């Protein structure tokens, strides 16, 4: 059965993102695993908010990048790294792979800060 794409590739994926995914764990020599770099088109959504604490106001930028399908099939859980988009390098706060009932990945979402 073919499942509908929740992130259609035509018309909605316009921004090019350079994604650096930090893998968890160590290799055979005890070194951290190599960072995986992927360049893909995405749908980018950005939100700013004011945070009030200790008598001062900070502006926080939060963003999400939506990618069609599995962004990096060799990594099961994306939990860290960086995304460079619109000239800004942002840290990956969380990653989501939305699965279809047959086990394929419908879309990948990266939450940035």
Which runs of E-coded beta strand occur in 54-99? 56-68, 81-85, 88-99
pLDDT at 85 over 90: yes
Q: What percent of the chain has pLDDT over 90?
A: 65
pLDDT at 1 over 80: no
For residue range 32-61, what is the model confidence (pLDDT) as tens digits? 888 999 999 999 999 999 999 888 999 988
For residue range 64-78, what is the model confidence (pLDDT) as tens digits? 999 999 999 988 889
Dihedrals phi, psi of 77, to nearest 5 degrees: -125, 120
Which runs of E-coded beta strand occur in 8-77? 15-21, 36-53, 56-68
Q: What is the spatial distance between Cα 101 and Cα 81, in angstroms, rounded to a whole number?
A: 28
């Amino acid at each position: 059965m073919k499942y509908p794409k929740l992130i259609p590739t035509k018309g909605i994926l316009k921004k090019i993102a350079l994604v650096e995914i930090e893998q968890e764990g160590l290799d055979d020599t005890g070194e951290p695993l190599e960072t995986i770099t992927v360049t893909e088109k995405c749908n980018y959504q950005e939100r700013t908010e004011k945070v009030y604490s200790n008598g001062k106001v900070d502006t926080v930028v939060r963003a999400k990048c939506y990618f069609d399908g599995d962004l990096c099939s060799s990594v099961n859980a994306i939990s860290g790294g960086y995304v460079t988009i619109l000239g800004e390098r942002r840290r990956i706060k969380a990653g989501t792979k939305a699965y279809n009932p047959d086990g394929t990945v419908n879309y990948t979402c990266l939450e940035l800060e």
